[in-house]
Structure formats: structure tokens, C-alpha cells
Structure 1
Amino acid sequence: MSPYVLLALAIVAEVTGTVSLKYADGFTRLVPSVIVAVAYGTAFYLLSLVLKAGMSVGVVYAIWSAIGVALVAVIGALFLGERMNLTMIAGLVLVVGGVVLLELGGQQH
């Protein structure tokens, strides 16, 4: 499987775990707590496969964290009643833009 597909799956798993944290209520609710543990375990396992496939750890982590942050922020704003304003959107654009630059720089030899 493509490292980028594995990375996308790792991001989905991490976002699932992070959103589930909201519902785990300090790990006092069983089902969301189990989802958190399984999702994070899956995310890290998939990340290990991405790194094993030869992708650079800096680029992998940058993509994983930036897209994860952006997705969690958007999910929070759309579905969890969290606020989002233009300053926050600009910050997310800058984070994702920085990751794109890291990826482009990593492709130059």
C-alpha cells in the first residue's frame, strides 16, 4: 500500500481518537475511551509503516500533525459547537502551507 494512503489512514485514526477524547469525559466513559486507545494505537502503527516505507520522519510528522490539527479544528467548528474565526482560519492555512513547503523542500535533492 502507498505510504501516502497509509499516512491518510493514520491521520483519520488520529482525528478519530482526538474527537473521541471530547466524549471520553476524562476517560470515565468506556466506549469513547476504548475508541481513543484503539484509534491512537492504530495511528501510531500506521505511522510506523509509513516511516518503514522510507518517508522522512520530519515530513511525515509535519503532514500528520498539520492535517490532523486542521481537520480537528474544522470538525470542532462544524459539529462540536467550537468557535472558528478568520484569524484561526489564517493560522490553519499557514500551518498547512508550511507543511506543503516542507514536502516540496524534501523532494529537492
Structure 2
Amino acid sequence: MTLVFLMCGVLTEVAATLSLRMASGRGGRKWLLAVLAGYLASFTCITLALKDGLALGVAYGIWAASGVALTAVASRLLFHEPLTKVMDTGIGLIAVGVLCIEIGAAR
């Protein structure tokens, strides 16, 4: 269940961040409720993952890094924001960093 909680935490954080983008535009106040609900759900899921035994450094590292990478890709698809080769490289480095955190936590 730990990984399920962590994945839910990442996905709800990304949804909240994308909703924040909508709230800053023409979407207005209704999107602010989605932002609030998304971040509340995300922190709840991360808390459940921590209670289930996931180390804080691992949880936060994966949560933050995955959130950044997924938000960059989703904003490209949804809002047609740029995703350059340098950004693609950064996303690749994030994936390598998350892998290093996982390997390091297993030792």
C-alpha cells in the first residue's frame, strides 16, 4: 500500500498544480477549490505512506521529483507550454535521481 499512497500523493499534487494554473487564468475561484482539495489529498496520501513505513527522504524525493517531471509534461500537453531539449534532459536527470534515491534507500 505504501507505493499506492505515494503514487496517489504524486498524482493529486500534479492535479492541484495544474488546477492552480487554471485558477490563475480565466478559471477563477472554482479552480481554487480543486487546488485546495488536490494539495490536501496529496499531503494526506504522503502522510499515509510515511505511516506505512516509507522513509521521509525517499517519500519527499520521489514526490517532489515526480511531481516536477509530470507537471512539465502535462503542462505541455494541456497548456501547450514549451518543453525544450534542455527540459527533457532535466526530466531524464530527475528519473535518474529518483532511481538513485530508491537504490540508496534499499542499502
Could you state the TM-score of these two structures normalised by the residue count of structure 1? 0.92
Structure 2 residue runs of 5 or longer lacking an equivalent are none
Aligned to 2:38: 39
Is it true that 1:9 corresponds to 2:12 in the alignment?
no
User: Which SS does the other structure have where 2:80 is aligned?
Assistant: coil
Q: Which runs of 4+ in 1 moved over 2 A?
A: none
Aligned to 1:58: 57
Partners of 1:32 and 1:79 in 2: CA distance:
15
Partners of 2:43 and 2:14 in 1: CA distance:
12
Aligned pairs for 1:1-109 (under 5 A) are 2-25=1-24, 29-108=28-107
Equivalent pairs, count: 106
Deviations 1:3-36 (A, max 9, x none): 000111111110010000011127x822100000
Partners of 1:29 and 1:88 in 2: CA distance:
29
Partners of 2:80 and 2:106 in 1: CA distance:
39
**What percentage of residue pairs aligned between the two structures are identical?**
35
User: Which SS does the other structure have where 2:53 is aligned?
Assistant: coil
The alpha-carbon deviation at position 99 of structure 1 amounts to 1.1
Cα RMSD for the two superposed structures:
1.3
Amino acid corresponding to residue 35 of structure 1 in structure 2: A
Deviations 1:55-74 (A, max 9, x none): 11000011111111111000
User: Which SS does the other structure have where 1:6 is aligned?
Assistant: helix
Partners of 2:98 and 2:24 in 1: CA distance:
32
Structure 1 residue runs of 5 or longer lacking an equivalent are none
